[in-house]
Amino acid sequence: MFLYILVLTIIFIFGYIYLLDIRITNTWSKNGIPFYKGKFGLGYGWEFFTGDKPLFMIYDKIYKRHGNVPAIATRSFLNPVLILKDPENIQQITSGDFNAFSQRGTVVNGDVDLLADNILFMNGNRWKLTRQKFTPLFTSAKLRNMYYIMNQSAKDFVDLMAKIKLNEDNFNLLSTFCSAAVSAAVFGITTNSIMDSPLLEMAKKTFTPTFKSNLKFALANASNRLFNYLKIRLFSDHQDFFIGTMKKVLQARRESKVKTHDFADLCIEVQKNGKMRDVKTGYEIEPTDELMSAQAFFFFIAGVEPSAISMFFTLFELARNPNILKRVHDEIDEVFEKSEGEVTHEDIEKIEYLDRVIEEAMRRHPPISFLSRKCTQDTVLKVGNIPVHKGCIVQVPTYSIHHDPKYYPDPEIFNPDRFTEEAIRQRPHYTYMPFGLGNRMCLGMRYANLQVKTGLVHVMRHYTVQTDDLNTKVEYRKSPVQLKANNINFRFVRRLLN
């Protein structure tokens, strides 16, 4: 009996794949779009599931295999997937034809999973209104007011570095800095050093994957319907503590006269304006403490790891490139000497070469290795005249585009001059996307840049970096989206300043 069911199931699955295959290959092959079948016809799904390569490296193989085409069709198990190559189509799905691609395709149960009810996971009117109301919280004026927190965070971090044993796990050390800095930016500075914040422990635990959390994410991925039906909460373990903390902070802010300019403070301003309302659609949301907590939570899930990855690879590439390292040190030292140790927000903004170094590090090693959009209404991509059906997942292979010699000659070479104004002008648009593109682009980009840069400026004032991996080809660890290295490292060495 069991065997009978098993055989039927297998026949059914392969039959389904076969039919789907015909549908997909027919519509797409007519337009000259190659189809990547992968193992057992399951696209790259099987390869990713059973192999040890990160997803973006599988995309990269597919991207390189097919030369001059606007896109490659494939699937992840049964889901049709389109991998884009052409920048104009990338423009179309991220901005031009946004209505058909307004979602990323990740699922959460926002009604019960309170912390997941944030801009990163929301969709439709709810996303639009919330993003609209929170965008003004990330202007340069707001960030300038917040700078004192980043300055303090960077100094506390350098103080900590002087006290501990360095170079045991530098990625972990940088994540600790990013968690602490984000905690301070969201909840304010509550302890003598931000590194002593009681929230730090929680922040670190939240993002250490456990068997249970992996299982939940896997189910969210495998079957949206089942995941919704079971009302699974991805972030339930942290919900009470996180919301409780935020409620206390918000209450304290309501009673206090002092403006602290951190995110909690800004949430109070949003709440003061009463119900959030979209004038066009009439859609309304009550800005409750819970909703504010969920937005605060996106700083942690969307912000901490990619910032740490960006710092890690910037330092690693500096260690590998002594000439560039020297120029960065000179630039930073000049600022410190002029300002007698007191680096202001304006000083940070004036440090230009380091910007280019960070940009180039995020080209070579984009912390978020690809972008995702889900098609929600049938449409046609302009270049190649490619029909895309509702339900299809469209991927923008950030890593591969960042390494396409058409846009970046000698892509393996680390060269910050790719980001001079002149060089940027000469490149086609939509070929650089560490923070994504279009309407759903990273909301925290400016915040992240300032935090990463301020951290690096203070660290590089006191430390230099060295590596034994001068010519090692970087290998990346298997991970769904984020990019982490397997086989390379660098060490901090204290500088002798007089």
Ligand X SMILES: *[C@@H]1O[C@H](CO)[C@@H](O)[C@H](O)[C@H]1NC(C)=O
Binding residues for ligand HEM, per CB under 6 A? 94, 104, 119-120, 131, 298-299, 302-303, 306-307, 310, 367-368, 371, 434-437, 440-444, 447-448, 452
By the rule CB under 6 A, 321 interacts with ligand X: no
By the rule CB under 6 A, 152 interacts with ligand X: yes
Tell me whether residue 274 or residue 391 sits nearer to ligand X (CB atom).
Answer: 391
Residue 480 touches which of ligand HEM, ligand X, none (CB < 5 to 8 A by kind)?
A: ligand X
Residue 270 touches which of ligand HEM, ligand X, none (CB < 5 to 8 A by kind)?
A: none
Stretch binding ligand X (CB under 6 A), from 64-72, 138-146, 151-159, 281-289:
151-159
Tell me whether residue 44 or residue 299 sits nearer to ligand HEM (CB atom).
Answer: 299
By the rule CB under 6 A, 61 interacts with ligand X: no
Residue 383 backbone zone (phi > 0: left; psi -120 to 50: alpha; other: beta): beta
By the rule CB under 6 A, 180 interacts with ligand X: no
By the rule CB under 6 A, 148 interacts with ligand X: yes
Site map 198..227 versus ligand X, x via CB under 6 A? -----------------------x--x---
d(CA 88, CA 62): 20
Tell me whether residue 79 or residue 236 sits nearer to ligand X (CB atom).
Answer: 79
Q: How far is the CB of 203 from ligand X (least distance, A)?
A: 22
Residue 422 is encoded by which pair of tokens?
Answer: 């002149």
By the rule CB under 6 A, 84 interacts with ligand X: no
First-to-last alpha carbon distance for the chain, in angstroms, is 81
Amino acid (one-letter) located at 274:
G
Residue from 74, 103, 123, 151 touching ligand X (CB under 6 A): that is 151
Tell me whether residue 38 or residue 438 sits nearer to ligand HEM (CB atom).
Answer: 438
Tell me whether residue 191 or residue 466 sits nearer to ligand X (CB atom).
Answer: 191
Amino acid (one-letter) located at 170:
N
d(CA 297, CA 238): 10
Q: Which has the closest alpha carbon to 464: 486, 497, 487?
A: 497
Residue from 125, 191, 344, 431 touching ligand X (CB under 6 A): that is 344
Which residues of this protein are in contact with ligand X, per CB under 6 A?
A: 48, 55, 76, 79, 105-106, 148, 151-152, 155, 221, 224, 342, 344, 393, 480
